[in-house]
Structure 1
Amino acid sequence: MKKLNFLDKVVFFFNMVAAIALLMSFVLPFIPPKSFSVLSVLSLGVPVLILLNVLFFLYWLFKLKKQFFLSLFVLAIGYFSFGSLYKFSSSTNNKSDNSLTIMNYNVRLFNLYDWISGENIETKMVDFIKEKAPDVVSFQEYHPHKNIDLSFFKYKFEKLSGTKTRYGQAIFSQYPIVNSGSVAFPNTSNNAIFVDIVKQSDTIRIYNVHLQSLHIDANVDKLAEEDSERLFKRVGQTFEMQQSQTELFLKHKKQCKYKMIICSDLNNTAFSYVYKEIKGDLQDAFKVAGNGFGITHDFKFFPTRIDFILVDNAFTVDAFKTYGDHYSDHYPVMTSISLH
């Protein structure tokens, strides 16, 4: 530090803050939000902290200063613990006779209230789904919009609530659904649903999990107007609800005897407690075969991946794709898997 000029000392101070914050965030997946809900909020900022530490590492490396070891050390811990924030692998999205393609999509009521400007957004969404032709599609914030026609799927299961506007979760399938049901979450319209489909001689359980929303406005100006203390408290309370919902889901999941696939909008990142608990020993299809940041939510501040497809180890993840079609505040994801 003595050999650093004043500006570099200031830079290194903020470097230390960013490195310590990132290091602290690495333990958050192991701390139930009910134990320390306010600290859990830090998990949302992990992508930013990673990018900041990369910038600090490059800054010191360019100046040939040994201070680059600080961020390098913390980033290395994160990489070996959680993998890379950015994936360089590519997916082919090829289908074989033995493959099963699953799409997950939070459709935001099929743009019922014109959040996305443009003509016939709801029919464009359906055309997109029809073009990609998944065998199974899992919808969060589904609404039986009068202008949509998903009859090209042979089977479906919907779990809707609301009086004036019906909405909820749904799963559509090209394969027979032999069983279905819902895991109710108290004091919310969010829930988890499931179907058991039959493909050849295999019965496969597909879950659709939608955890409590954080209700964070993607508009920078509106978010800046919100009191920071109230924001942190509200998000912390939401994390506590997500933990309770996760516990209910895991209790149901534990009773399942079939190979399973979990489609989800967790409203939380891959650095969170709820992600770690729900994933368990399943494969994250994006981490296996995805590429890029895997952004699934239109959040202006940093790359956000909160929608996941988790796959039983009995399957091979052959491909994964995140689509950039902007018809909702979420982006659709699709994976192709096959039995070993």
Structure 2
Amino acid sequence: MKNLKFLDRVFFLVNSLIATMLLLSFLLPYVSPQSIPEFTILSLFVPALLFVNVAFTIYWIIKLKKQFLLSFLVLIFGWFFASPLYKISENASALNSDLKVMSFNVKTFDFFNNKKKVENTKNGFEFIADQALDILVLQEYYQLKKNKLPYPYRYIKLRSKRSKYGMAIYSKYKIINSGSLDLKSTGNNIIFADILKEKDTIRIYNAHFESLKIKPNEENFGEENSEKLIGRVAQAFKRQASQTALFLNHEKQWKGKKIICGDFNNTAYSWMYHEISKNKKDAFIVAGEGFGKSYNYWFPLRIDFILTDEAAIINQFKTFTEIYSDHFPIRANINW
């Protein structure tokens, strides 16, 4: 510090604070939101913390200063112990027998027919049809008069008898069993459907965990009072923890093949992801590429997931960039 100019001393103090925050964030998978909910909010900002620490490392290296070691060593630690932020493609060849699965938070189909909101001439229903999917899993589903998703089998769970809002699982294969966990005091839910593919029964979960109700296009996430924002998000994370426990209790009763799709409303650096992904494969980590950004925000938030049991073989994974919602659709080719 003695050999640094005043401005560089200020930079290093800021660097030290951000490096410490990133280091602490590596503890997030082991800290339940039920115990320290305010701390778990940090999981949303891990991607940004990683970028800033990379920037500080480059800055100090350019200036030939040993201060680069601070962020560099924290990043190296994260390389071994945290979920990857960026993946180089490891896609294998797709097989005809692959189960092609897409998970998509469609935001009640708000942008599906509005071509002014999308980057190409196709609407959202045409985009989905082009994917030739076997399984389509939708969050924030809305029951339209003219349903343009021609699948022979479906399980749709609406919030209530009078509501048109809910969750949906569409399938090319026969659905032989289905159900809902009926999450209480929330518009979110977890549903499942057991499909019969040849002689295999595969359970498909569609999970939409408690929403944070963040408005990314508004100043300060839509809140004038930052304390109110923190309190609201912390409360949402506590609900996510309760919903995670409910899901895990239900899931452990199924011993067969399974795929968990959904909008977790949290990142791969969170406690809930750590608990749900135990003894499972994350399709993005196995076969994805890039940042896997699934939420339309200024830094890469991956909050939508496709997970499988450990026996599954994930041949391909893709995160699409077409804008038909505030989420981007994700697709995986899965086999056993």
- TM bucket by the smaller chain? over 0.9
TM-score by length of 1: 0.93
- 8 Å contact from structure 1 (residues 112, 145) kept in 2: no
The aligned amino acid for 1:166 is K
- 8 Å contact from structure 2 (residues 135, 171) kept in 1: yes
Superposed, 1:141-152 pairs within 5 Å as 141-151=140-150
The aligned amino acid for 1:19 is A
Structure 2 residue corresponding to 1:228, chosen from 226, 229, 232: 226
Residue 250 of structure 2 aligns with which residue?
Answer: 252
Render the CA deviation track for 1:106-140: whole Å, top value 9, x for unaligned: 01111189998549x9x811111110011101000
Q: CA deviation at 1:83?
A: 3.8
Alpha-carbon distance in structure 2 between the residues aligned to 1:43 and 1:107: 24
SS in 1 for 2:15: helix
Residue 133 of structure 2 aligns with which residue?
Answer: 134
Render the CA deviation track for 1:216-235: whole Å, top value 9, x for unaligned: 10114363652110000000
Alpha-carbon distance in structure 2 between the residues aligned to 1:239 and 1:96: 39
Superposed, 1:28-39 pairs within 5 Å as 28-39=28-39
Residue 125 of structure 1 aligns with which residue?
Answer: 124
Structure 1 residue runs of 4 or more that deviate by more than 4 Å after TM superposition: 112-119, 162-165
Deviates more, 1:182-191 or 1:329-338: 182-191
Residue 19 of structure 1 aligns with which residue?
Answer: 19
Render the CA deviation track for 1:313-339: whole Å, top value 9, x for unaligned: 111110000001101111000000111
- 8 Å contact from structure 2 (residues 258, 309) kept in 1: yes
Alpha-carbon distance in structure 1 between the residues aligned to 2:222 and 2:202: 45
CA 1:116–1:2: 2 relative to 1, 3 Å: farther
The aligned amino acid for 2:132 is A
The aligned amino acid for 1:28 is L
The aligned amino acid for 2:110 is N
Alpha-carbon distance in structure 1 between the residues aligned to 2:149 and 2:221: 36
Report the count of equivalent residues. Answer: 335
The aligned amino acid for 1:331 is F
Residue 49 of structure 1 aligns with which residue?
Answer: 49
- 8 Å contact from structure 1 (residues 116, 327) kept in 2: no
The aligned amino acid for 2:236 is T
Q: CA deviation at 1:40?
A: 0.9
The aligned amino acid for 1:149 is K
Residue 316 of structure 2 aligns with which residue?
Answer: 319
Superposed, 1:64-83 pairs within 5 Å as 64-83=64-83
- 8 Å contact from structure 1 (residues 87, 292) kept in 2: yes
SS in 1 for 2:327: coil
- 8 Å contact from structure 1 (residues 116, 328) kept in 2: no
Residue 281 of structure 1 aligns with which residue?
Answer: 279
CA 1:163–1:196: 2 relative to 1, 3 Å: closer
Structure 2 residue corresponding to 1:239, chosen from 229, 237, 243: 237
- 8 Å contact from structure 2 (residues 112, 125) kept in 1: no
Residue 58 of structure 1 aligns with which residue?
Answer: 58
Q: CA deviation at 1:198?
A: 1.2
Task: Let me know the Cα RMSD of the aligned residues.
Answer: 2.1
- 8 Å contact from structure 2 (residues 155, 170) kept in 1: yes
Residue 155 of structure 1 aligns with which residue?
Answer: 153
Alpha-carbon distance in structure 1 between the residues aligned to 2:125 and 2:114: 17
Alpha-carbon distance in structure 2 between the residues aligned to 1:258 and 1:99: 17
- 8 Å contact from structure 1 (residues 29, 271) kept in 2: yes
Identity percentage of aligned residues: 46
Alpha-carbon distance in structure 1 between the residues aligned to 2:42 and 2:213: 16
- 8 Å contact from structure 2 (residues 210, 240) kept in 1: yes
SS in 1 for 2:123: helix
Alpha-carbon distance in structure 2 between the residues aligned to 1:38 and 1:117: 39
* Structure 2: tracts of 5 or more residues without a match: none
Residue 186 of structure 2 aligns with which residue?
Answer: 188
CA 1:191–1:115: 2 relative to 1, 3 Å: farther
